[in-house]
Amino acid sequence: MTLSMTLGMTIGVKRSLHMMWGELLGVGLVAIFAVIGVATIMLKYPSVFSALKYLGGSYLIYLGIQMWRSKGKLIISNSPSSESTMKPIQLASQGFVTAIANPKGWVFMISLLPPFINPTQALTPQLSVLVAIILITEFSCLLMYASGGQTLRLFLQKSNNVRLLNKIAGSLMFFVGIWLATG
């Protein structure tokens, strides 16, 4: 989301779309691999699944605390950036790598998706619906972040505004982490 907002601020929404399709491909793969791996663990080793759930919730709580403690700085240059000269495939690759290499995305998918899988039913239809919902939601959010990036550029350049945004997002992550660990 941060990448989408930053690209929206620096290169515009239209060029950011190239990054978005790469990120959507990565998010879809992360969701599929997370569900398949966790579903296997959940069926064979329920105690390992519980440990993963607690670790995932703890990690989200940790991220929430880190966001609360952040300095609230947003650094965006007014000069032309390297992103403005990147080719569409480079932007897509950047989005894909961001999604695949993001530990928060893995933890989120591993923690959130398995409770929605019914082990007595076929995995493919359930996974297809979940991934479709995730990708539609992800694309909508990426588009909103990129669109809002241009509008929010001036607002977020003030340190206190970024700090407030971090506190709100950090609080949400903290409470989702508690919900995941205890739910």
Please state which of the ranges 39-48, 75-84, 173-182 shows the lowest mean pLDDT: 75-84
pLDDT-based confidence at residue 71 (cuts at 50, 70, 90): low
Backbone angles phi, psi at 70, to 5 degrees: -65, 160
Return the structure tokens found at 68: 């609360």
Nearest one of 26, 140, 32 to 93, comparing CA atoms: 26
Residue 24 has pLDDT above 80, yes or no: yes
Q: Across all residues in the chain, what is the average pLDDT? A: 79
Q: What is the pLDDT of residue 42?
A: 65
Q: Are 103 and 95 in contact (CB under 8 A)?
A: no
Instruction: State percent of the chain over pLDDT 70.
Output: 81
DSSP 108: H
For helices 123-156 and 2-10, what crossing angle results, to 10°? 50
pLDDT-based confidence at residue 78 (cuts at 50, 70, 90): low
Q: Are 98 and 28 in contact (CB under 8 A)?
A: no
Q: What is the pLDDT of residue 134?
A: 93
Return the structure tokens found at 136: 């539609």
Q: Are 35 and 122 in contact (CB under 8 A)?
A: no
pLDDT-based confidence at residue 25 (cuts at 50, 70, 90): very high
Helix, strand, or coil here: 126?
helix
Q: What is the pLDDT of residue 108?
A: 81
Return the structure tokens found at 44: 């064979």
What does the pLDDT average to over 121-136?
A: 92
Please state which of the ranges 45-49, 131-135, 144-148 shows the lowest mean pLDDT: 45-49
- 24 against 7, higher pLDDT: 24
Q: Are 47 and 153 in contact (CB under 8 A)?
A: no
Return the structure tokens found at 116: 């929605």
Cα separation, 35 vs 39, whole angstroms:
6
pTM tops 0.75: no
pLDDT in tens, 85-112: 789 999 999 889 888 877 778 878 877 7
